[in-house]
Amino acid sequence: MTCFQLPPSGNAVPVSFLLEAGDDDFAGAFSAHSGYPVERILLASSGASALYIALRGLAALNPGKRGVALPAWCCPSVPQTVIQAGLEPVLVDMDPATLGYDAESLRQVRAARGDGLLAVLLVHFFGISQPRPAGDWEGTAFLRDCAQDFDHRFDAEDDAACFYSFGRGKALNAGHGGALCLPASGPLLAACRSAIAELPVAHDRTLPKAMAINMLSQPRLFWALSHVPFLGIGATVWKKTMTFESIAPEFHAPGSACLEAYLQRRDFYRKLIAKYRHLLHSCDGDMVFSPVTGSAHMGLPTRFPLIVRDPALRNAIFQGINSRFGGVTRMYPDILPALAGAPEDLGGGREYPGATRVAGEILTLPVTAELMGREDRFLDCLAGILEANGAMRKRSMAVSGTDGDWTPIRRPSRPGLRRPTLFPSA
């Protein structure tokens, strides 16, 4: 027993950095990072709260419309938020190759719902940007779920609002907070401001919470926590009742420190993802592939996804990596209607073959600060497992550079900001 386990995600931040690097202008820092003007950013207690605000704003402008289309495989907090907003989740099948919607399934939903479809969620799983579906969608809004795509930036040609999460295991890893970003001023922004004004203010002690979350990301402490059954670390749980609040006033300093830490480590994550992609390019795509390798438009994922068709290979990767390093997960274990605690009428008894395949075949590789200094050994172990199971066309060492189709992300400038460094020798 190694008593060592990498967390699957999260940019762990040293306590000293949390105490020294923050300031009270998180909104300005996040605006510089995301490209959205401060006046069009609404800060909430979580990504789910940000989604709730968007849905309440849309519902206020479109009385009578209740349907919200979303993937049949995703975090259960998404449909639960839709339900608590007084709306109806409408499940849509998925394309395993892209983790986007299956075009025919979405077309059928559109045809069946007609004018009753309020919104379509475009979920950026693992940082993969999802395009707006083709066709006439007049009267239906689009919302981008960027909980797993922290580097998504404002696009003046995109009229979809988007929301982010700053919770545990996300790129910010602050343990609290989320943001709803509106593409323009106008009725929707006004309606969302009215919706957030009706919410209570969160009173979380955000600095102690952020310190605890980041300290417990250390592999030996994370191993100990994950072996305490009642904590449910890594479990997908359907929460029957969720709380929606505006952001805690104390969040800004630890939040800005977590953002600064992420910006300082982003180059490491970019190179790590490039190594994962390079290794997958050497594999037999009929046995294992990643939707990330086929995406030309993506940010840095919070985890790196693999679709592994062969159960024996899938188990070999899961057991082989986790026995030495940890960090590999099966993500959400089933489609939404099959999760314990799901509403009985969710999905209407329909089948979702693409989403079911994703749920059964997906594995995720860790994208975490705790992998720094261990990444080459981790990749060599993974390559050995793939080669031993006949999944590699050729043995390939991972490279430290970026793939040719990787788009570098510009670090925003914040004049006058004192930046403590995580890398004093650099």
- Name 318's Cβ contacts closer than 8 Å, sequence gap at least 6: 328, 330, 363
State whether 142 and 195 are in the same domain. Answer: yes
The neighbouring-strand residues paired with 283 are: 392
Residue 396 has pLDDT above 60, yes or no: no
By percentage, how much of the chain surpasses pLDDT 70? Answer: 90
Residue 232 has pLDDT above 70, yes or no: no
Number of domains observed in the structure of the chain: 2
State whether 171 and 314 are in the same domain. Answer: no
Per-residue pLDDT, 15: 92
147 touches 125 (CB < 8 A): no
DSSP code for 337: G
Across the chain, mean pLDDT equals 90
The answer to whether residue 69 is domain-embedded is yes
52-94: pLDDT as tens digits: 999 999 999 999 999 999 999 999 999 999 999 999 999 999 9
State whether 108 and 152 are in the same domain. Answer: yes
138-152: pLDDT as tens digits: 999 999 999 999 999
307-340: pLDDT as tens digits: 999 999 999 999 999 999 999 999 999 999 999 9
Collapse the DSSP code of 268 into the 3-class scheme (helix H, G, I; strand E, B; otherwise coil) and give the result.
helix
Domain range enclosing 90: 13-206+241-249
Per-residue pLDDT, 71: 98
* CA–CA distance, 111 with 218 (Å, rounded to integer): 50
375 touches 275 (CB < 8 A): yes
Per-residue pLDDT, 38: 98
**CATH code: domain of residue 65:** 3.40.640.10
State whether 202 and 58 are in the same domain. Answer: yes
Per-residue pLDDT, 252: 96
Per-residue pLDDT, 236: 81
State whether 178 and 101 are in the same domain. Answer: yes
Question: ∠ CA(90), CA(129), CA(74), 5° rounding?
Answer: 35
Residue 129 has pLDDT above 80, yes or no: yes
State whether 193 and 99 are in the same domain. Answer: yes
Per-residue pLDDT, 414: 47
User: What are the tokens at 257?
Assistant: 């420190």
9 touches 303 (CB < 8 A): yes
Per-residue pLDDT, 65: 95
